[in-house]
Amino acid sequence: MPELIPPHGGVPEPINRTVAVLDPPSTHEIVVSDADLSTLYRMADGALSPLTGPMTREEYDRVLEEQVIVRQGRKYAWTIPLAFPVDARVARHLNTGSKHPLVNERGQCVGVIEVHDVYPWDKKKYNHSVYGTPREDHPGARIANHDPRTYLVGGEIVALPQPKHPEYGDLILSPRETRALFQQKGWERIVAFQTRNALHRAHEYALVVGLERLTRAGYFAGAVLNPLVGETKSDDVDAATRIKTYRALIESRALGQGDIDEELWRKVGRNFHDHVLLIALDIKMFYAGPKEAVMHAIYRQNYGFTDIIIGRKHADAPYDDKTDIWDPLAAQRIFDHLPGELLIRPVKVGFAAYYKELGRVALVEDYADRGWQPVNISGTALREMLRRGEMPDPAIMRPETARVLIERYATSR
């Protein structure tokens, strides 16, 4: 069997802080917001290895200033610090070594924390470091700025297993489960395709490119459509609807249809669709562009992926005036000069589009000198078309995806 990639941070296997039963202390409760619950669960199941809980001030500041965490004297890449916000009233009751129940917004106990540190939340420093700009008129900065809490708590946690979502809980696996699955498949390289959107046909092509590059290089490889289902912007398509679109593509084997390299798959004697899986990932979005791309890679290394597709404007969101915070390829370049170790490899993919001359989707960079005009449509125009119940050009979006979105818009009127 192929040897699996080790988890991040020098640990021999993913951290496990999940417990079947809790005995919460009768001390002051710490409320974990719905947005941060996924972070708690990912600390517990090992997806955020080597963390065993939220960061202390020393580690938090090191991430902001150096983009690393340190374990056994070795530096590992880490670009967005993670700690749990608390308000000043709660912070007064937290002491080093004290244990406190972690409860969700409905007052249900979901975990316990042993406090190691409580410290003021310097939101200016956090925003400037994570987003690389002093401007705060963008979705990322609003995450911290709209949170009324002003302190952070660090420490070690244990947590109950995450409840299974009725519509896509079957797709959310722990790092131990994905690693076992990949080993069972016998894949030598496994590439993750991160998305938070319903897929245009050009989006799909990034997954095709990633898998075919590894296959062409001689690896028995697999690709995973690995969408985020955690907290996103209010104008993003909701997770349940997106999952329906992904299931439709995978189950109908429509993903990549007409765009894959048929000759390659004949040559290796395998079927493209047999090497594609759908697994969801419950983490929240920070809209932090390049630095979030690194965090997305860290998660995937812990799940056992060897590669992650990094496209143009990865995890991007513009300023409120619609100008870019980062240039389109910043998320690809950040992997070239990380100050700490990261074993997973980026698969850098450019912009793709459908060309009538080819009758399929291709990378624009490969055909830019031909003078051909790619078929495209603005996101706004596409959404309006779907809201009217009109099927878009299948060169832009497959009917399997469009039908789900049209149904969703129809029921939300």
Lowest-pLDDT range of 177-191, 287-301, 366-380: 366-380
Q: Which of 159, 184, 216 is the last residue of a domain?
A: 159
Number of structural domains, the chain? 2
Residues 99 and 175 in one domain: no
User: pTM of this prediction?
Assistant: 0.96
pLDDT of residue 368: 84
Residues 48 and 139 in one domain: yes
18 belongs to a structural domain: no
Q: Which of 128, 159, 190 is the last residue of a domain?
A: 159
Residues 155 and 182 in one domain: no
Range of the domain at 245: 169-281+344-412
Residues 140 and 258 in one domain: no
pLDDT of residue 86: 98
Residue 163 has pLDDT above 80, yes or no: yes
Residues 53 and 119 in one domain: yes
Q: What is the CATH number of the domain that holds 260?
A: 3.40.50.620
Residues 190 and 215 in one domain: yes
Report whether the peptide linkage leading into residue 394 is cis, meaning its omega lies within 30 degrees of zero: no
Strand partners, 114: 99, 156
Residues 139 and 202 in one domain: no
212 belongs to a structural domain: yes
Distance CA(240)–CA(243), nearest Å, equals 5
Q: Which of 159, 187, 217 is the last residue of a domain?
A: 159
pLDDT of residue 380: 84
Distance CA(263)–CA(141), nearest Å, equals 47
122 belongs to a structural domain: yes
Average pLDDT over residues 286-314: 97
Residue 342 has pLDDT above 90, yes or no: yes
Residues 97 and 224 in one domain: no
List of residues 6+ apart from 68 with CB closer than 8 A: 62, 75, 76, 77, 78, 339, 340
Distance CA(219)–CA(223), nearest Å, equals 12
Residues 272 and 203 in one domain: yes
- What percentage of the chain reaches a pLDDT higher than 70? 99
Average pLDDT score, the chain: 95
DSSP-H helix ranges across 257-398: 262-268, 289-303, 330-333, 364-367, 379-387
pLDDT of residue 232: 62
Q: Tell me the CA end-to-end span of the chain in Å, nearest whole number.
A: 52
Residue 36 has pLDDT above 70, yes or no: yes
Residue 251 has pLDDT above 90, yes or no: yes
303 belongs to a structural domain: no
Residues 155 and 80 in one domain: yes
Residue 48 has pLDDT above 90, yes or no: yes
Residues 102 and 196 in one domain: no
Average pLDDT over residues 130-147: 97
233 belongs to a structural domain: yes
CB 256 within 8 A of CB 272: yes
pLDDT of residue 235: 61
295 belongs to a structural domain: no
pLDDT of residue 164: 94
List of residues 6+ apart from 239 with CB closer than 8 A: 168, 227, 228, 229, 230, 232, 280
Q: pLDDT digit string (tens) for 178-237?
A: 999 999 999 999 999 999 889 999 999 999 999 999 999 999 999 999 999 976 655 678
pLDDT of residue 208: 97
